[in-house]
Amino acid sequence: SRQGWAREREREREEALRGCPELTMKRASTSAQTSSKTAGSMNGGLARIAARCTSRAPRGWCVSRRQTVMMSAANAPDSDSKKGPGSVGALKVVQTLERTVERVGSKQFSLSFATRPAKKQRVVILGTGWGAARLAKELDMGSYDLTIVSPRNHMVFTPLLASTTVGTLDFRSVAVSIRSLQPALGLEPNHFYTAKAKAVDPEAQTVTCVSDDGGEFEVQYDKLAIATGAQGSTFNIPGVEEYALPLRDVADASAIKDKLIKNIAKSQIPGTQEAERRRLLNFVIVGGGPTGVEFAGELSNLVKEDLARAVPQVSCSVRITLIEARDILGSFNPDLRLYASRILSKSGVEIVKAQVKEVSLTSF
């Protein structure tokens, strides 16, 4: 009957579609005998699968295209090798079987097996600052492998860094993990190394790195991005590195916060001399740029709001001094500079126009 014929055709179509994708890809072993047998068996397997697909195609169907491709890797042994074919290394066989079965006046069905992708170029980024983080985030991971080398594993949102020194913001609020920006760093063959770059060899395309424990290692690259930023300058002022605290990273902000807490606590110890107490509560900020002005404002708010409420006997003794050789916020609009100076003065910050010649343990 017509219904029985239709069911028979449907059953044959389903059997044909189930029978084609039974190809199993196996990688050849490193031994000569196994590699040779595997390559031969895969040739035979391809032929059997192709024949099976053709023989199982139902009546009224036709094979419109059948293609078999086989390629050997570049490291396959020469035919003159004493050990015979497939004796050097593992034979890398890439096979593709594609078959399209179509029925007149109906849809096409295509079954294909993907080949192994080509080796991607490796991009090495030095640093995790603004430029490095943006590059890592926007990099096309489908086209490149990525390696990042930096002594810190996060990017810092520096405009808000001053707020973390007094507890207005938590340190986690201004630091973003580089792995969060580029999740592919947690997958092979991408890497993140906590180390510093020591040297670059353009000829060999390698970067020599030094880890925290002093160990050296090399990183190979195809493309190199140097985004380490600039080193802060002390202007060769004696005593800056020994007695002053910079503010460029989360670790610096944490050190300043600890110093503030310790000085305020020491000033309340019974028996502390008045001169020593004034020294402990005298905070000097050198530099009237954005960071210095922001920190002066945050410190002033801490004294006037939190300390005035918690320990009023301390807040009235705190002195904040901002030293700048020129006008504060010199690169900004004059109206903004004037406004910032007026606000800081109202907040109790003393602005001094001067140059620092030397820094000692007790004075500038």
List, for residues 24-77, the tens digit of each pLDDT value. Answer: 443 434 444 444 444 455 445 545 544 454 444 444 444 433 333 333 334 444
List, for residues 202-214, the tens digit of each pLDDT value. Answer: 999 999 999 999 9
CA gyration radius, the chain = 35
The pLDDT assigned to 286 comes to 94
The pLDDT assigned to 97 comes to 38
What would the two tokens of residue 338 be? 């004037």
The pLDDT assigned to 300 comes to 95
The pLDDT assigned to 198 comes to 94
d(CA 129, CA 196): 14
The pLDDT assigned to 262 comes to 95
* Least trusted range by pLDDT, from 112-126, 249-263, 274-288: 112-126
Mean pLDDT calculated for residue range 178-200: 94
d(CA 354, CA 31): 78
Given a contact cutoff of 8 angstroms between Cβ atoms, the answer to whether 198 and 210 are in contact is: yes
Q: What are phi and psi of 272, to 5 degrees?
A: -70, 130
Q: Predicted confidence band at 18 (pLDDT cuts at 50, 70, 90)?
A: low
Q: Catalogue the long-range contacts made by 331-339 (C-beta closer than 8 Å, 24 or more residues apart).
A: 331/289
List, for residues 97-153, the tens digit of each pLDDT value. Answer: 344 444 444 445 444 444 455 689 999 999 999 999 999 999 999 999 999 999 999
CA distances from 135 to 113, 153, 185, 195 (A): 34, 15, 13, 19
Given a contact cutoff of 8 angstroms between Cβ atoms, the answer to whether 315 and 307 are in contact is: yes
The pLDDT assigned to 79 comes to 41
Question: Of all residues in the chain, what percent carry a pLDDT higher than 90?
Answer: 57
Mean pLDDT calculated for residue range 243-265: 94
The pLDDT assigned to 48 comes to 53
- Is the per-residue pLDDT at 201 higher than 70? yes
The pLDDT assigned to 117 comes to 59
The pLDDT assigned to 15 comes to 63
The pLDDT assigned to 349 comes to 95
